[in-house]
Amino acid sequence: METAILVENGIRRIITLDQYANLISGKEKKSWPELCCIVCDKSVHQKGLLVASEDFTPRFSHAKKEPSEEFCPLGSESKRFYALDRNEKSLSLVEAHLRRERFMEPATFLGSYLICRHLRGGQGQLTLKEFTRMVEVADSIGMWRHTWLPEWSIPLMLMLMANHETRNGQHQFYYRIKRINRTQQASWDPANVHLIACWLKGGTQITGGKKKSSFPLIIPLSESYVNGITKLTERDATTWTQEERFARSIERYRVGLLNNQQLQDE
Ligand SMILES: [Zn+2]
C-alpha cells in the first residue's frame, strides 16, 4: 500500500510514503510515529523506505500473515487485484492526480457514489463513509496510474476496494478481477476480464452453491452496463440526493478526501 493512517492529536490523517520518509528521517526507530491501515485499523509499517534499491518498491505493509486472506483489501494476502497487474501503471503522478481531480468534481463524485450504491443493492446500502474508504483504498493501491481507466469504469473498479456486508449482515462479499478466457496474451484486455463476487465469513472465503443475492454476481467492464445503471439511479435519486442533510454530508466527505483527512461517523 502507498498510504497509511497517522493519528495526530485525535485527527486521522492519511500519509503517503514520501511524507512518512520525511517524518522519520534522522530519527531513532523507537520514536517513529505509529501507523495503521486505512481499512482495518491493524498496525502497518514501512518497508524499503530507507534503503535505496532498484528491485524493491517501498510500501506500507501489514505484519506478515496478518490479516488473513481477504480480511482486508489492502492485506498482503489479498488476491483480488492479481489480474489487474496486466493493466500497467503508465501514467505519471501528475496525470494520475488530474484524473483523480476530475473524479472528485461534485457531480462526478455523486454519480459514482450512486452507481456503487446501486451495485451494492440500492436503498439502505453503502454509506458515504464506506464509499469514501473505497476511494482511499484506490489511492493506496495507486489505481489512478493504471493505463486503462476510462472515467465510466471508475465506479466499477471501486467495487474491488472493499469487503461489503450482505443485506442480512451474516456474511460479507468482495469482488475480484477475473480473466474470462485464459489466453496467452499478456496485455490487458478489458473485454476479457470481469469482476466476480466472492463470499466471506469473518475474512475467510467460503464457497457454496449459487446463492440469491441483492448484488450482481458478475460485473462486466462495459460502458453500456454503466450507462444502464446511471439511467436507473437518475430516476431514483433526483429528490433525496438534493435534501440538505445528504448534500451537506457528501460534501463533507468529499472535502475530507481532498484534504486527506479520514472522517469518522457524524
Ligand atoms: Zn488492513
pLDDT exceeds cutoff 60 at 179: yes
For residue 242, being part of any structural domain is answered with: yes
For residue 69, being part of any structural domain is answered with: no
For residue 266, being part of any structural domain is answered with: no
How many angstroms does the Cα of residue 58 sit away from the middle of ligand 1? 17
Residues 116 and 201 grouped into a single domain = yes
Residues 127 and 252 grouped into a single domain = yes
Cβ atoms 262, 14 nearer than 8 A = yes
pLDDT exceeds cutoff 70 at 67: no
pLDDT exceeds cutoff 90 at 264: no
Residues 52 and 90 grouped into a single domain = no
How many angstroms does the Cα of residue 131 sit away from the middle of ligand 1? 16
How far apart are the C-alpha atoms of 82 and 241, rounded to whole Å?
36
Residues 152 and 30 grouped into a single domain = no
How many angstroms does the Cα of residue 71 sit away from the middle of ligand 1? 8
How many angstroms does the Cα of residue 76 sit away from the middle of ligand 1? 9
Name residues whose C-beta falls within 8 Å of residue 53's C-beta, 6 or more positions apart in sequence: none
Residues 102 and 227 grouped into a single domain = yes
How many angstroms does the Cα of residue 229 sit away from the middle of ligand 1? 30
The better pLDDT of the pair 117, 168 is held by: 117
Residues 153 and 86 grouped into a single domain = yes
The better pLDDT of the pair 190, 52 is held by: 190
For residue 163, being part of any structural domain is answered with: yes
Residues 9 and 58 grouped into a single domain = yes
Q: What is the pTM of this model?
A: 0.93
How many angstroms does the Cα of residue 161 sit away from the middle of ligand 1? 11
Q: What is the mean pLDDT of the chain?
A: 90
How many angstroms does the Cα of residue 132 sit away from the middle of ligand 1? 15
How many angstroms does the Cα of residue 39 sit away from the middle of ligand 1? 5
Residues 57 and 89 grouped into a single domain = no
Residues 254 and 157 grouped into a single domain = yes
How many angstroms does the Cα of residue 37 sit away from the middle of ligand 1? 5
How many angstroms does the Cα of residue 70 sit away from the middle of ligand 1? 10
How many angstroms does the Cα of residue 48 sit away from the middle of ligand 1? 19
Residue 210: which pLDDT band, with cuts at 50, 70 and 90?
low
pLDDT exceeds cutoff 60 at 237: yes
How many angstroms does the Cα of residue 73 sit away from the middle of ligand 1? 7
How far apart are the C-alpha atoms of 242 and 251, rounded to whole Å?
12
Respond yes or no on whether the N-terminal peptide bond of residue 67 is cis (omega within 30° of 0): yes
Phi and psi torsions of 223, nearest 5°: -70, -40
For residue 206, being part of any structural domain is answered with: yes
How far apart are the C-alpha atoms of 247 and 228, rounded to whole Å?
24
Residue 217: which pLDDT band, with cuts at 50, 70 and 90?
very high
How many angstroms does the Cα of residue 191 sit away from the middle of ligand 1? 30
How many angstroms does the Cα of residue 81 sit away from the middle of ligand 1? 15
Residue owning grid cell 478489458: 190
How many angstroms does the Cα of residue 16 sit away from the middle of ligand 1? 16
Residues 13 and 124 grouped into a single domain = no
How many angstroms does the Cα of residue 69 sit away from the middle of ligand 1? 11
The better pLDDT of the pair 183, 250 is held by: 250
pLDDT exceeds cutoff 80 at 166: yes
For residue 254, the enclosing domain spans 82-258
How many angstroms does the Cα of residue 44 sit away from the middle of ligand 1? 8
For residue 74, being part of any structural domain is answered with: no
Residue 266: which pLDDT band, with cuts at 50, 70 and 90?
low
Number of domains in the chain: 2
For residue 114, being part of any structural domain is answered with: yes
Residues 23 and 104 grouped into a single domain = no
Residues 156 and 36 grouped into a single domain = no
Instruction: Dig out the grid coordinates for 50 from the structure.
Output: 530507507
pLDDT exceeds cutoff 60 at 198: yes
